[in-house]
C-alpha cells in the first residue's frame, strides 16, 4: 500500500504533449497513482490512440486538443473543460521541441518556433490553468525543464535558452502563486530514450560519450521520471515551491 501523501485519487491532471514519450509516461504514472488524466497533443488522432491505450489499463482519460502556442485557444480549451467536467488539480507542462543546428547557422524561424513551443506555451497553459487553481486555493504545476536548464551542448543553444527560461519562469510562478496555495516546480530530465532524442540514441558515438559523461553510465528510461512527478504532484510536496528536481543520472553533479 502506498503512502497516503503520494495518493492522487480524486485529482485531475492535464499533461501537455502527452501522446508519446515523456508526456505519455508521466500521464500513465499519474493515472497509476490514482489521478484522472487529460491528454493533450497536436495530432488529435495520435492523442486519442494514446488515450485508448491508457483507458485499456482502467484509467479515466480525457483528450483536450488545443495548440499550446495559441494563447486564446489555450484559454478557451481550459475554461471550457473546467466548465464541463470540473477542475484541473495538476498541470504538467511537457510540450516541447528540439532543433539541432550550429548557432551561427541556426534559422531564425526555427528559433521562433522553439520560443513559442518550449517557453511561451508554459506561460499560456500555466496562466490559463492557474487562474482556476487560484480560485480554489490549491494546485500543482510541474514544468518540464532539462539538464539544459543548467548546462549547454554544441548545436542546441536556442533550446538551452528556452529550458533556462522555463526554470526561471517556474521560480516566477512560485513567487506569484504560492500565496494562493499553488506549488509550482520543475522536473528536469537528463538524457532519456524518447522520440525527441532518437537521432542521438541511434548514434553509437554519442551514446558512448553519454555513458562516460553520466555517472550512472547509461540513458535514462522514461519510467524513471514518474516517481519525481508523482512527488511534485502530490501532498508530499506541500512545502516545495520554485525548485527544479534533476533526474539525470548525476550528469549535472559531475564534471
- What are the catalytic residues? 159
Which DSSP category does 119 fall into?
I
Beta strands 139-144 and 90-93, pairing class: parallel
What cell does 114 get? 522553439
Burial 164-185 (b: 16+ CB within 10 A, else e): bbbbebbbebbeebeeeebbbb
CA distances from 199 to 110, 193, 204, 255 (A): 18, 10, 10, 25
Query: What is the β-pairing status of strands 182-189 and 61-63?
Result: unpaired
CA–CA gap between residue 56 and residue 1 (Å, rounded): 23
Compute the Cα dihedral for 15, 20, 22, 24 and give only its sign.
Answer: positive
**Rounded Cα gap, residues 180 and 175, in angstroms:** 10
For residues 20 and 27, give the distance between their C-alpha atoms in angstroms, rounded to a whole number: 10
Amino acid at each position: 500500500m502506498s503512502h497516503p501523501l503520494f495518493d492522487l485519487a480524486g485529482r485531475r491532471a492535464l499533461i501537455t504533449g502527452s501522446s508519446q514519450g515523456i508526456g505519455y509516461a508521466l500521464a500513465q504514472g499519474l493515472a497509476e497513482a490514482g489521478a484522472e488524466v487529460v491528454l493533450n497533443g497536436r495530432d488529435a488522432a495520435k492523442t486519442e490512440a494514446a488515450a485508448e491505450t491508457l483507458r485499456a489499463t482502467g484509467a479515466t482519460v480525457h483528450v483536450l486538443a488545443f495548440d499550446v502556442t495559441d494563447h486564446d485557444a489555450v484559454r478557451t480549451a481550459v475554461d471550457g473543460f473546467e466548465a464541463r467536467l470540473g477542475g484541473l488539480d495538476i498541470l504538467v507542462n511537457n510540450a516541447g521541441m528540439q532543433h539541432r543546428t550550429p548557432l551561427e547557422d541556426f534559422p531564425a524561424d526555427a528559433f521562433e518556433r522553439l520560443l513559442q513551443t518550449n517557453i511561451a506555451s508554459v506561460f499560456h497553459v500555466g496562466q490559463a490553468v492557474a487562474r482556476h487553481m487560484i480560485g480554489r486555493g490549491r494546485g500543482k504545476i510541474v514544468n518540464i525543464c532539462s539538464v539544459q536548464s543548467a548546462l549547454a551542448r554544441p548545436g542546441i543553444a536556442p533550446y538551452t535558452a528556452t529550458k533556462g527560461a522555463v526554470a526561471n519562469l517556474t521560480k516566477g510562478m512560485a513567487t506569484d502563486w504560492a500565496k494562493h496555495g499553488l506549488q509550482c516546480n520543475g522536473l528536469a530530465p537528463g538524457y532519456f530514450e524518447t522520440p525527441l532524442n532518437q537521432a542521438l540514441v541511434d548514434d553509437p558515438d554519442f551514446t558512448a560519450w553519454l555513458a562516460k559523461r553520466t555517472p550512472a553510465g547509461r540513458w535514462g528510461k522514461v519510467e524513471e521520471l514518474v516517481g519525481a512527478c508523482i512527488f511534485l504532484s502530490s501532498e508530499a510536496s506541500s512545502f516545495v515551491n520554485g525548485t527544479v528536481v534533476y533526474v539525470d543520472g548525476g550528469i549535472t553533479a559531475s564534471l
